[in-house]
Amino acid sequence: MWPTCRYASGTAAGPRGTRGEPTRAAATVRVAGVTTLPDRRLLLVHAHPDDESIGTGSTMAHYAATGAHVTLVTCTLGEEGEIHVPELAGLAAAEADQLGGYRIAELAAACAALGVTDHRFLGGAGRYRDSGMMGLATNEHPRAFWQADLDTAAGYLVEIMREVRPQVLVTYDENGFYGHPDHIQAHRVAMRAVELARAEGFAPAKVYWTAMPISVLEAGLTHFADSADNPFADVTDLSELPFGTPDKDIAARIDATDQHAAKEAAMRAHATQIPDNSWLYSIAGNFGSEFMGVEYFFLAVGEKGPGSGPYGWEDDLFAGLDTTAPRDAATAAGHR
């Protein structure tokens, strides 16, 4: 997973936005139906439309195709994104400010490509606004996700967990994978929601953070060194990148190469964000289905299941879990 956004220069900042927010009735509560969902239930918490496809698209498509219930929660509409479709430039935040609404439709098309039918926006569409890159004035917008009251935002997610009872949750690490404030906030909200759900007895048994093994980055840097379209042209050392996890610390490698076309189709649905000639597509052409179809995860909460290879990587996010256990017993195994 390679972020398309420019790398943020900022790093995780301290807690923000403890202002009181109006408590809204939990619009996402649909309590009935838990017992009718499939045995395996996966919840993903992402910051903006397109993050799901770029970061975890193959994994989502894999689990949807194999009968798991996949729930995607997107925290903002991505209003501050760049626009790569010239005729839509007028939708930009500084112009008509209509990009967020447009991206709802892009996300719906992406989810259709991935086979994912359960998608929600945290607190409802438009509840939280894209905060823009770290340090920009957009961070201060009253609805900016960066300003969100943590417990209020986590409360929306808890209600979804209460309904769906996911055994596995996927989100970002504490730096939001690469430092974008909304990704950092998504991490904080997801982890707080896990805490709150644990207190009520229905926390996911496993929480994963998206990750990129150092070995894969090394291969990417080597590959791009001679390329005219090098997204890492300024990078001379891997330590300069805001992401990269030692291979031994990776817990799971999900090989969904058979879903690489679904992932690419989902990314192409986000046409305002990912231009047709993006290096993401050219690298896919060079590396083949593995670039699109293999995704990696760090296990933050729960017990690692059986795996293989030198580091015992799991090949299934549900590895080691008894997914036929009674729903109310799907409680967390505790922080490592």
Annotated binding site: 48, 51, 183
The CA-based angle 114-71-34, given to 5 degrees, is 135
CA pair distance 105, 30, nearest whole angstrom: 23
Which token pair is 250?
A: 């990776």
CA pair distance 130, 117, nearest whole angstrom: 23
Q: Nearest residue by C-beta to Zn ion?
A: 48
172/232 with CB nearer Zn ion:
172
Range in contact with Zn ion (rule: CB under 5 A) among 51-59, 136-144, 230-238, 264-272:
51-59
Q: Could you tell me if 332 and 204 are in contact, meaning their C-beta atoms sit under 8 angstroms apart? A: yes
163/295 with CB nearer Zn ion:
295
Range in contact with Zn ion (rule: CB under 5 A) among 46-54, 154-162, 268-276, 292-300:
46-54
The single residue among 16, 40, 41, 48 that binds Zn ion, judged by CB under 5 A, is 48
CA pair distance 315, 331, nearest whole angstrom: 22
* Paired strand residues for 298: 209
Going from the C-alpha of 173 to that of each of 191, 285, 287, 301, 310, the distances in angstroms are: 10, 29, 26, 12, 24
Range in contact with Zn ion (rule: CB under 5 A) among 39-47, 97-105, 190-198, 224-232:
39-47
Other C-beta atoms closer than 10 Å to the C-beta of 29 total 12
132/166 with CB nearer Zn ion:
132
The single residue among 51, 118, 163, 173 that binds Zn ion, judged by CB under 5 A, is 51
**Known binding-site positions for Zn(2+):** 48, 51, 183
β 206-211/294-301 pair status = antiparallel
Going from the C-alpha of 212 to that of each of 161, 191, 239, 243, the distances in angstroms are: 27, 20, 13, 7
Range in contact with Zn ion (rule: CB under 5 A) among 24-32, 47-55, 120-128, 269-277:
47-55
Site string for Zn ion, 19-38 (x = CB under 5 A): --------------------
48/62 with CB nearer Zn ion:
48
51/314 with CB nearer Zn ion:
51
Residue 127 binds Zn ion (CB under 5 A): no
User: Residue 268: phi, psi to the nearest 5?
Assistant: -70, -20
Residue among 77, 76, 80 at smallest CA distance from 5: 80
Q: Could you tell me if 129 and 182 are in contact, meaning their C-beta atoms sit under 8 angstroms apart? A: no
279/311 with CB nearer Zn ion:
279
Residue 47 binds Zn ion (CB under 5 A): yes
Which positions ≥6 away from 82 have C-beta within 8 Å?
A: 273
71/131 with CB nearer Zn ion:
131
CB of 226 to Zn ion, least distance (A): 29
Residues in binding contact with Zn ion, number by CB under 5 A: 3
CB of 134 to Zn ion, least distance (A): 12
Residue 77 binds Zn ion (CB under 5 A): no
Residue among 70, 169, 167, 170 at smallest CA distance from 114: 70
Summarize as ranges the residues that interact with Zn ion (CB under 5 A). 47-48, 51
